[in-house]
Structure 1
Amino acid sequence: MYIRVKRSKTTYFIQCEPTETSLDIKQKLHDLIDQPVSDQRLILVSTGEVLEDSKSLADLKVENDAVVALTLRKG
């Protein structure tokens, strides 16, 4: 499966498995955007729910082609 992670005017297509955690997705994003995992927050757009790092995508009800918003903590 894949998810779309949107940040400002940029969309990242992330290949992932339902068993992966939100933290795994943040690590993949870290490799792409060079932002520390601790400064990232992922929000499922359809529900507005913040994705917890320790839960799997399946537990968080993230489905294939889901849109996830990425917010970054200001330093």
Structure 2
Amino acid sequence: MSQQPKSSDDENQTEMYIRVKRNKTTYFLQCLPSEKVLQIKEKLQVLIDEPVNNQRLILIQTGEVLDDSKSLADQKVENDAAVALTLRKADNEFEDVNVVKPDDYIRDGDGGSNW
């Protein structure tokens, strides 16, 4: 398989994916480090039918709200990063982050056999 020559713009353009989590749902989005957060929200809009201005993305590792005008690389979002999605509520405020962790599924006394 031959590789295409890379221009300087393509430097650092290895495809990556991020995990966008909300409640019990995880969306796996393929993206490039150079993509702006707004472009990620546009991909999500197709999946969840929520306008981009009603979405907020938060890097779970740091709790930092991602800026629409900056790229993933600018905000240190790396391959396989987990990002929380919150949506705007009727009162114009954003909902709290609600991401279910795998530990939340383990019930006392069953030894975690539900995995």
Structure 1 and Structure 2 fold alike (TM over 0.5)? yes
Aligned mate of 1:73, from 88, 102, 107: 88
The RMSD of aligned alpha carbons is 0.4
Aligned match of 2:43: 28
Larger gyration radius, structure 1 or structure 2: 2
Q: Which of 56, 60, 67 is residue 75 of structure 2 equivalent to?
A: 60
Query: How many residue pairs were aligned?
Result: 75
Deviation of 1:2 (Å): 0.1
Partner of 2:28: 13
Residue from 16, 28, 43 that aligns with 2:58: 43
TM-score (normalizing by structure 1): 0.99
Instruction: Provide the C-alpha distance between the structure 1 equivalents of 2:72 and 2:78, rounded to a whole number of angstroms.
Output: 8
* Larger RCO (CA under 8 A, 6+ residues apart): 1
Query: How far does the alpha carbon of each residue in 1:14-55 deviate from its partner, in whole angstroms, 9 at most, with x for none?
Result: 000000000000000000000010000000000000000000
Unaligned runs of 5+ in 2: 1-15, 91-115
TM-score, normalised relative to structure 2 = 0.65
Q: Identify, as 1 or 2, the structure richer in strand.
A: 1
What stretches of structure 1 move > 3 A for 4+ residues in a row? none
